[in-house]
Chain A
Amino acid sequence: MTLLILFRHLDILTCKIASSHFPIGHQSSMITRPRSSSRGVSADIHAMSEDPKYAVEMRDVTKRFGEVLANDSVSLAVAARSIHAIIGENGAGKSTAMNILYGFYTADEGEILLDGEKRSINSPRDAIRLGLGMVHQHFMLVEPLTVTENIVLGAEPVAGLSLDYKRARSRVREISEQYGLRIDPDARVEHLSVGQQQRVEILKTLYRGARLLILDEPTAVLTPQEVDEIFAILRGLREQGKTIIIITHKLSEVLELSDNITVMRDGRVVGNLSTAGATASGLARMMVGREVLLRVEKQEAQAGASVLEVRSLSLRGKAGNASLEELSFHVRAGEILGIAGVEGNGQTELIEIIAGLRAQTAGEILLEGRPIDRLNPHERKRRGIAHIPEDRHRRGLVLPFDLADNSILGVHQDAPISGALLLNRKVIEERAKRLVRQYDVRPPNIALAARALSGGNQQKLIVAREFDINPKLILVAQPTRGVDIGATEFIHRKLVELRDEGAAVLLVSAELDEVLNLSDRVIVIFEGRIVGEVDPKSVTEEEIGLMMTGGRKEAGERGSRGPEEQESGERRSEGAEE
């Protein structure tokens, strides 16, 4: 934990150093540049190819999907017994490269070497046989089954006609002890927290004899405490001789955990470097291809009158939903109020109640002093409430609709977009073109289905649509989930801009960094209750992390969890499905 905090400060420090003292050269000196010297890189690797200290080498691997060049002559080498990070923006080709390694895709060109030997991997089954294991971002677990059943599935020990549950269980216990992955072999997976489910995934690969583990965005859905735990586990695995590849875009974690880094951009490797000496700003620049502000630059908030007031809001949760208990808070004009909390503790429900998508059981909501409880979502939008929903595919967009149609959702009944009877196509198209231009939605083709856009561009479209109503109050849930660094920077800047123009912003995010960076005030929520308010400028991650888990830091990881705990674990896992 302390390390993480240290890195947050180091980040700032190194940013300054990098930008002031070593404008460009400092970084590039240790980076092998892409195109110009890619031959050189591969030559180096070739020279060392018989050296088995590389667990994996990919040489000039190319993969096309139709016209799209997903991997363009990708070369990388992963040292045995190391933790290797592959970083890059969405669509940079890192997942494609790993899916080729794991046999999901077959490369069009290039070759793969494992422990110095050339191998052809045509299916995940081949990969497993060769000692590879993959932990997907969305866990591949059968929830109603037990931990043991999930681990042995597909490679079950049998005794006669029966599945040998006794042997399976003792094998699971054995591996979990050997690698320090504590888990109750008889627990049902659906009752486990996300962090514990991840352990089951890792155990699955170890049970199958994996020597090399590939983890896709392993920390995306974890709490800060769980992140610490998984890091400890991964380091332990490295000690025991495993090689680990993690795909990620979280730079602080890369710097903390990995030994070496491969940076990808636009399907190419733009650098292979050692983590020692790398900086967050340097890595961000390589990933995006330009200077990126990792911190949100903002002035002190000029908070005005209260815009949103929530009084004793309660919700009795039905199956699968969190409850809310007596929430009271307010958001003023010109400030961003952040809500920190582990997903599934009521944030989703709170935002949906304010947006009018869900009814509370008790309490009231006032917008500029007037109750809005009886208004439907459309009427609330007319009063100036914008909503960026957490699930953009389900709530934010109609994926098969084109950008123009998506750009009017929610305002489609209002003049001049809608006439007395018919929609005004011309107005809609001009407005859509303007939004796409102003918010840099790519590709800027308003006749394209929303489905065809990347996550970041879909989000920009939603942001454009919502911000265009000149909102008084903006409800923002997970604004940058699955959105790459460039678009994240853009969305953050826009939010601060609107704040400065006097809008009140209520922000919910599972990314603690995001909440702390953007917010002027932060309230922490746990199991539907507000546990406290903190100052984002002075609070440590440890303090807030503790509050987010209700102060019970060690709970939920010793296999002896109460029913209450299990329930919240379940909710968490639901929230994790994006």
Chain B
Amino acid sequence: MEYFTTIINLSLLASMVRLSTPLILAALGGMYSERGGIINIALEGIMLAGAFTAAAVTVFTANPWIGLIAAVAAGVLVSLIHAVASIEFKADQVVVGMAINILFIGVPALVSGALFESTGSTPPLPREQTLPDWNIPLIGSIPVLREILSGHKPIVYMALAMVPLSYYILFRTRFGLRLRAVGENPEAADTAGVSVRGMRYAGVLLSGALAGLGGAYLSIGQNSLFTRNMTAGRGFIALAALIFGKWHPVGAFLACLLFGVADAISIRMQGVVPVPVQVIQIIPYVLTLVVLAGFIGRATPPRAIGTPYVKEK
């Protein structure tokens, strides 16, 4: 029982929000890509690129906001590789995504070695050079919500804002309708005068921007440096959340919270519960497996996902 109160309390929920943030951003990013019909398993690699770029740029500029923008740009650039390969050259999207993931295990180490003479990590940033904590005026005065929602990094609020915004974009705008149409039946969209190529580029690049931002949160928000492979599979967990959430922004958001709380619990259990740390650390990953094995059969992906669009004749 004493374990219980140590682990389950209000600050657990705050920690859930923090840990969910990179997942939410990457999952929503993946949603734009996959709703448009392009599988994006490169989220992991894109997040790594974003995390490294954010840290490295902040080291040189001493301004985390510039680092943040650079991370988004890096995400867009990396996803551009994905887009060109899968849209122009009609490459297998899973292979392209995997290649990007493998590439960005190595690229940060290489560049880091050249810039900072350390392939393991970037130099740690002083606290004032990481993103600030924001106290939200209105929420800051409500007792319970204050504990959970106030005092987070700006990226946390961006992620939370992206959920309703994505819902609006996907289901209430012309762009969203066209994106969904292209992901379900590109031929029909094409004959209706929608540019399949254009929409798919937009979807993939948006996913890059959001996943890059998610990566930045890891290196200049939650931490103050980039370390090798610091995403630790979060890109894949985000992908699982996207599937578990049925490619729906709210569904994906809730799934991310679930993974976030699992992560938070496992962190809190370490050193408290008499179980080897390694066992505790695998909780979020086991949860991913269970969720996907148990629920994936019921989720219907966009129908044209993974298939390059080839115009007849």
Q: Does A336 contact B (CB under 8 A)?
A: no
CB distance B173 to A153 under 8 Å?
no
Q: Does B270 contact A (CB under 8 A)?
A: no
Contact with A along B146-179 (1 / 0, CB 8 A): 0000000000000000000000100011101110
CB distance A154 to B172 under 8 Å?
no
> What residues of chain A lie closer than 8 Å to B174, measured between beta carbons?
156, 158, 163
CB distance B192 to A163 under 8 Å?
no
Q: Does A110 contact B (CB under 8 A)?
A: no
Partner of A154, one of B180, B185, B189, B303: B189
> What residues of chain B lie closer than 8 Å to A163, measured between beta carbons?
172-174, 176-177
Q: Does B143 contact A (CB under 8 A)?
A: no
Q: Does A141 contact B (CB under 8 A)?
A: yes
Q: Does A232 contact B (CB under 8 A)?
A: no
Q: Does B110 contact A (CB under 8 A)?
A: no
Q: Does B188 contact A (CB under 8 A)?
A: yes
Bound-state Cα–Cα, A156 to B188, Å = 15
Main secondary structure of the interface of B (DSSP, over half): helix
CB distance B180 to A162 under 8 Å?
no
Contact with B along A97-121 (1 / 0, CB 8 A): 0000000110000000000000000
> What residues of chain A lie closer than 8 Å to B189, measured between beta carbons?
142, 153-154
Interface residues of A in 119-141 (CB under 8 A from B): 124-125, 128, 136, 139-141
The 8 sampled A-B contact pairs (Cβ below 8 Å) are A104-B313, A124-B193, A128-B193, A142-B181, A153-B189, A154-B178, A154-B189, A162-B168
Partner of B172, one of A104, A136, A162: A162
CB distance B178 to A153 under 8 Å?
yes
Q: Does A149 contact B (CB under 8 A)?
A: yes
Bound-state Cα–Cα, A104 to B313, Å = 9
> What residues of chain A lie closer than 8 Å to B192, measured between beta carbons?
140, 153-155, 204
Q: Does A291 contact B (CB under 8 A)?
A: no
CB distance B193 to A143 under 8 Å?
no
CB distance A153 to B194 under 8 Å?
yes
Q: Does B191 contact A (CB under 8 A)?
A: yes
Per the CB 8 Å criterion, the residue count for chain A at the interface is: 25
Bound-state Cα–Cα, A128 to B193, Å = 9
User: Shortest beta-carbon distance, A65 to chain B, in Å?
Assistant: 8
Residue among B192, B193, B313 with max Cβ neighbours from chain A (10 Å):
B192
Q: Does A6 contact B (CB under 8 A)?
A: no
Partner of B185, one of A143, A155, A158, A165: A143
CB distance A149 to B177 under 8 Å?
yes
> What residues of chain B lie closer than 8 Å to A156, measured between beta carbons?
174, 177
> What residues of chain B lie closer than 8 Å to A512, measured between beta carbons?
none
User: Shortest beta-carbon distance, B29 to chain A, in Å?
Assistant: 21
Q: Does A144 contact B (CB under 8 A)?
A: yes
> What residues of chain B lie closer than 8 Å to A124, measured between beta carbons?
191, 193
Contact with B along A185-207 (1 / 0, CB 8 A): 00000000000000000001000
Contacts known (A154-B193, A154-B194, A155-B193); A140 close to B173, Cβ less than 8 A: no
Bound-state Cα–Cα, A154 to B313, Å = 22
> What residues of chain B lie closer than 8 Å to A161, measured between beta carbons?
173
> What residues of chain B lie closer than 8 Å to A204, measured between beta carbons?
192
Bound-state Cα–Cα, A141 to B191, Å = 10
Contact with A along B278-310 (1 / 0, CB 8 A): 000000000000000000000000010000000
Q: Does B92 contact A (CB under 8 A)?
A: no
> What residues of chain A lie closer than 8 Å to B34, measured between beta carbons?
none
Q: Does A145 contact B (CB under 8 A)?
A: yes
CB distance A142 to B193 under 8 Å?
no
> What residues of chain B lie closer than 8 Å to A142, measured between beta carbons?
180-181, 184-185, 188-189
> What residues of chain A lie closer than 8 Å to B188, measured between beta carbons?
139-142, 150, 153
Partner of A143, one of B177, B184, B187: B184
> What residues of chain A lie closer than 8 Å to B181, measured between beta carbons?
142, 145, 149, 153
> What residues of chain B lie closer than 8 Å to A125, measured between beta carbons?
193
User: Shortest beta-carbon distance, A467 to chain B, in Å?
Assistant: 34
> What residues of chain B lie closer than 8 Å to A136, measured between beta carbons?
191
> What residues of chain A lie closer than 8 Å to B178, measured between beta carbons?
153-154
Contacts known (A156-B177, A163-B174); A144 close to B184, Cβ less than 8 A: yes
Contacts known (A145-B177, A149-B177, A163-B172); A140 close to B191, Cβ less than 8 A: yes
> What residues of chain B lie closer than 8 Å to A158, measured between beta carbons?
174
Partner of B303, one of A139, A143, A149, A165: A143
Bound-state Cα–Cα, A124 to B303, Å = 24
User: Shortest beta-carbon distance, A412 to chain B, in Å?
Assistant: 32
User: Shortest beta-carbon distance, B225 to chain A, in Å?
Assistant: 39
Bound-state Cα–Cα, A23 to B255, Å = 76
Residue among A105, A125, A149, A153 with max Cβ neighbours from chain B (10 Å):
A153
Bound-state Cα–Cα, A142 to B303, Å = 10
> What residues of chain B lie closer than 8 Å to A153, measured between beta carbons?
177-178, 181, 188-189, 192, 194
Bound-state Cα–Cα, A156 to B174, Å = 7
Bound-state Cα–Cα, A31 to B178, Å = 48
Contact with A along B180-221 (1 / 0, CB 8 A): 110011011101111000000000000000000000000000
Interface residues of A in 441-490 (CB under 8 A from B): none
Bound-state Cα–Cα, A141 to B184, Å = 9
User: Shortest beta-carbon distance, B55 to chain A, in Å?
Assistant: 35
Contacts known (A153-B177, A153-B178); A145 close to B191, Cβ less than 8 A: no
Closest 3 CB pairs of A and B: A154-B192, A154-B193, A140-B188
